[in-house]
Amino acid sequence: MSGFDVNKIRQDFPILAEKIRGKDLVYLDNAATCQKPQAVIDSIVQLYSHDYANIHRGVHTLSVRSTDKFEAARSKVKSFINAASDKEIIFVRGATEAINLVAQTYGKANIKAGDEILITAMEHHSNIVPWQMLCEQTGAVLKVAPMNHKGELIYSEFEQLLGDKTKLVSVVHMSNALGTINPVKKIIAAAHAKGIPVLLDGAQAIPHMTVDVQELDCDFYVFSGHKLYGPSGIGVLYGKQSLLEAMPPYQGGGDMIRKVTFEETEYNTLPYKFEAGTPAIADVIALGAAIDYLVAIGMENIAAYEAELLDYATAKAKQIEGLTIIGEAEEKGAILSFTLNKIHPHDIGTMLDSLGIAIRAGHHCAMPVMDFYGVPATARASFAMYNTKQEIDVLMAGIQSLIEVFG
Amino acid sequence: MFEDLRDLYQEVIFDHNRNPRNFRVMENADRQVEGFNPLCGDRLTLFLKMDGDVITDASFQGSGCAISTASVSLMTEIVKGKTEAEAEELFTKFHEMTTGKEEHINLEALGKLAVLAGVREYPARVKCATLAWHTLDAALKNEANAISTE
Ligand SMILES: Cc1ncc(COP(=O)(O)O)c(C=O)c1O
Summarised one tens digit per residue, pLDDT across range B82-123 is 999 999 999 999 999 998 765 667 777 788 899 999 998 888
Tell if the CB–CB gap between B65 and A354 is shorter than 8 Å: no
Q: Name the pLDDT band for A262 (thresholds 50, 70, 90).
A: confident
Sign of CA dihedral A133, A134, A137, A143: negative
Question: What is the sign of the dihedral through the CA atoms of B98, B101, B103 and B105?
Answer: negative
Chain A residues near any Cβ of chain B (below 8 Å): 21, 343-347, 350-351, 354-355, 361-363, 370, 376-377, 398, 401-402, 405-407
What percent of chain A is helix, strand and coil (3-state, nearest 5)? 45, 20, 35
**Sign of the Cα pseudo-torsion (A255, A261, A263, A264, in order):** negative
Judged by CB atoms closer than 8 Å, whether chains meet at A407 and B18 is answered as: yes
Burial B54-76 (b: 16+ CB within 10 A, else e): ebebbbbbbebbbbbbbbbbbbb
Confidence of residue B143 (pLDDT cuts 50, 70, 90): low
Task: Please report the pLDDT score of residue A256 as a whole number.
Answer: 86
For B15, nearest residue in chain A (alpha carbons): A406
| Residues in contact with B48: Cβ distance below 8 Å, sequence separation at least 6, in sequence order | B26, B29, B30, B31, B32, B55, B57, B58, B136, B139, B140
B63 touches chain A (CB under 8 A): yes
**How far, in Å, is the centroid of ligand 1 from the Cα of A184?**
18
Q: What is the pLDDT of residue B103?
A: 64
Beta pairing partners, B37: B42
Whole-model pTM: value is: 0.93
For residue A81, give the DSSP letter. Answer: T
Closest residue of chain A to B16, computed from CA coordinates? A406
pLDDT of amino acid B38: 79
Query: How far is residue A167's CA from residue B105's CA, in Å, rounded to a whole number?
Result: 61
Nearest-angstrom CA–CA distance, A131 and A111: 11
Residue B147 has pLDDT above 80, yes or no: no
Q: What is the pLDDT of residues A351-392, one digit of tens each?
A: 999 999 999 998 899 999 999 999 989 999 999 999 999 999
Hey, is the C-beta of B17 within 8 angstroms of any chain A C-beta?
yes
Whether B2 has its CB under 8 Å from any CB of chain A: the answer is yes
Q: Give the separation between CA A377 and CA A387, rounded to whole angstroms.
A: 24
Q: Is the CB of A94 under 6 A from ligand 1?
A: yes
Looking at domain A41-296, which CATH architecture does it have?
A: 3-Layer(aba) Sandwich (3.40)
What is the distance between the alpha carbons of residues A382 and A362, in angstroms, rounded to a whole number? Answer: 13
pLDDT of res. B27? 92
Residues of B in contact with A401 (CB under 8 A): 1-2
Which chain A residues are within 8 Å of B39, Cβ to Cβ? 362
Residues A154 and A150: their CA atoms lie apart, in Å, by 10
Query: Which residues does chain A have within 8 Å of residue B5's beta carbon, measured at their own beta carbons?
Result: 350-351, 354
In this model, does residue A117 exceed pLDDT 80?
A: yes
Cα A363 to averaged position of ligand 1 atoms, centre (Å): 13
Residues 6+ apart with CB under 8 A from A396: A313, A316, A317, A320
Half-sphere exposure of A85 (CA within 13 A, CB side): 10
Beta bridge partners of B33: B46
Angle, alpha carbons A393-A398-A399 (nearest 5°): 100
Q: Contacts of residue B8 in chain A, CB cutoff 8 Å? A: 350
B41 vs A21, A370, A407: nearest CB: A370
C-alpha B29/C-alpha B44 separation (Å) is 15
pLDDT tens track for A34-66: 999 999 999 999 999 999 999 987 789 999 999
- Give the type of residue at A338: F
Q: How many helices (H) and strands (E) does chain B have?
A: 4, 4
Per-residue pLDDT at A263? 87
Is A377 close to B128, i.e. CB distance below 8 A?
A: no
Domains of chain B and CATH, by start: 3-141 (3.90.1010.10)
* Every domain of chain A and the residues it spans: 6-30+298-406, 41-296
Label residue A342 by pLDDT band (50, 70, 90).
confident
Distance B108 CA to ligand 1 centre (A): 47
Q: Is A37 in the pocket of ligand 1 (CB under 6 A)?
A: no
Give me the mean pLDDT over the A214-238 stretch: 98
The tens digit of pLDDT for each residue in A264-304 reads: 888 999 999 999 999 999 999 999 999 999 999 999 999 99
Cβ–ligand 1 contact at A379 (below 6 Å): no
Binned at pLDDT 50, 70 and 90, residue B146 comes out as low
How many helices (DSSP H) and strands (DSSP E) are in chain A?
15, 17
Pick from A350, A377, A402: CB nearest B125 = A350
Q: Which residues contact B52 (CB under 8 A, 6 or more apart)?
A: none
CB contact under 8 A, B66 and A343: yes
Task: List pLDDT tens digits, range B60-73.
Answer: 999 899 999 999 99
Alpha helices in A58-204 (DSSP H): 61-80, 95-102, 108-110, 129-138, 155-161, 184-193
Q: How does residue A254 score in pLDDT terms, banded at 50, 70 and 90?
A: confident
Q: What CATH number was assigned to the domain covering residues A6-30+298-406?
A: 3.90.1150.10
Confidence of residue A138 (pLDDT cuts 50, 70, 90): very high
